[in-house]
Amino acid sequence: MTPQPGSAGDVLTLISAGSATTRSDLARLTGLARSTISQRVDALIERGLVEESESGESTGGRPPRQLRLHTEDHAFAGVDLGATHCRVALMDISGNLLAECEDSLLIGEGPEKVLAHVDQRLDRLLGEAGRPRSALRAIGIGVPGPVEFATGRPNNPPIMPGWNDYPIPEYFEGVSVLVDNDVNVMALGEHRHSFPGAGHLLFVKVGTGIGCGIVAEGKLHRGAQGSAGDIGHIRVSGHEDAGCRCGNSACLEAVAGGAAIARRLSELGLPAESGADVVALVQAGNTQALRLVREAGRLVGEVLAGLVNFFNPEVIVIGGALSRVHEHLLAGIRETVYRRSLPLATHHLSITPSRTGINAAALGAGILAIEHYLSPDNINRIVNA
């Protein structure tokens, strides 16, 4: 259903974006009659979505009444499920953080146990924030594997045994649940918090695996089946002997991911089993680790150079476990991207480490939930119910 211009949902969009703070602003921006604007605003106030207060400055006569989102009776959750961790962020309707927590949790324990843990943490955070469970309007969840976004079901995720086709949204009753790949919600969180003015952004997660979230014209681009941005399985030349978990060889992830670097360091006799071990060796100044991380950056840059020529982003953000040694990783990435991409495409291109860091996925998942709830279609359903 496409909302009509000037619907209650459209009016709320203008208020939530800060484009309109008074009824006069709304009438001017929409072209609707003041009586129609009053009907829309009164309906939003009645549903507890908007509040109005006399806090504007007077230009002579009665001060204008100010409109803003009603934050007290709404809560939203962003959940970041990693291979070995769970982060939960509780937010209000404006995206302000109310409470958060992080726990060690193995996603391989299966959906029932992991989601039960998430449910318990939601109750605890709501209690800390002084909000009842009924205030929770929507939950966003990022998972480390491919997801069919329309249904919220993981699709053969390699590091999530037991999760394939599991209906995650159905586990939580009485609340909207949106599930997406973790790198997509990272891209959303990074864009909204750090680069809101960028129309085209790539978020590249370099950890055990490698993935890319795509923001095009300010919106997440997921592709036809939700698998857009799976750059970890793009072939890189000269590494035909590197087998990948997908069954192919010479995939970017198989030669430049954290697990691949750890394996090569282990073969050199160094204590490395994971990307975290690689980071520790680099931070300790190990020259072999430094060399392999920079080489991995060049390989990632080789793939990104093609994406820069094709997509022409304004910003490329590097996140994930290996971004903790970003000065070495980015050196390799920048070296290749600027050498292999067209000058016009790189003229205003910024390649930068993540600014939201380990909170990117939880924040992005929460924003995903808020933006779904505040979408004009959903607001119109609430108002017309």
pLDDT in tens, 348-365: 999 999 999 999 999 999
* Range from 76-90, 199-213, 227-241, 298-312 carrying the lowest mean pLDDT: 227-241
pLDDT of residue 1: 40
The two tokens of residue 381 are: 């359903």
Supply the mean pLDDT for the chain.
92
Helix axes 287-311, 326-340, angle to 10 degrees: 40
Of 54-68, 90-104, 290-304, the range with the lowest mean pLDDT is 54-68
Confidence of residue 247 (pLDDT cuts 50, 70, 90): confident
> Does residue 59 surpass a pLDDT of 80?
no
| pLDDT at res. 142 | 97
Residue 66, pLDDT > 50, answer yes
pTM of the model: 0.90
pLDDT, residue 125, reads: 98
Q: Are 50 and 44 in contact (CB under 8 A)?
A: yes
Residues 283 and 263: their CA atoms lie apart, in Å, by 18
Does residue 3 surpass a pLDDT of 50?
Answer: no
> Residue 57 has what pLDDT?
59
The bridge status of strand 136-143 relative to strand 75-81 is parallel
3-state secondary structure the chain: CCCCCCCHHHHHHHHHCCCCCCHHHHHHHHCCCHHHHHHHHHHHHHCCCEEEECCCCCCCCCCCCEEEECCCCCEEEEEEECCCEEEEEEECCCCCEEEEEEEECCHHHCHHHHHHHHHHHHHHHHHHHCCCHHHEEEEEEEECCCEECCCCEECCCCCCCCCCCCCHHHHCCCCEEEEEEHHHHHHHHHHHHHCCCCCEEEEEEECCCEEEEEEECCEECCCCCCCCCCHHHCECCCCCCCECCCCCECEHHHHHCHHHHHHHHHHCCCCCCCHHHHHHHHHCCCHHHHHHHHHHHHHHHHHHHHHHHHHCCCEEEEECHHHHHHHHHHHHHHHHHHHHCCHHHHCCCEEEECCCHHHHHHHHHHHHHHHHHCCHHHHHHHHHC
Q: What is the mean pLDDT of residues 14-25?
A: 91
Residue range 54-62: mean pLDDT, rounded = 60
The model's confidence at residue 224, banded by pLDDT at 50, 70 and 90, is confident
**pLDDT exceeds cutoff 60 at 58:** no
Q: What percent of the chain has pLDDT over 70?
A: 96
Residue 297 clears pLDDT 50, i.e. is over it = yes
Higher pLDDT: 330 or 159? It is 330
Say whether pLDDT at 220 is over 60: yes
Q: Kindly state the average pLDDT of the residues 231-259.
A: 90
The answer to whether residues 169 and 179 touch, using CB atoms and an 8 Å cutoff, is: yes
The answer to whether the beta carbons of residues 293 and 332 sit under 8 Å apart is yes
- Determine the Cα–Cα distance for residues 202 and 204; give it in Å rounded to an integer: 6
pLDDT of residue 227: 84
Is the model's pLDDT at 187 over the cut of 70?
Answer: yes
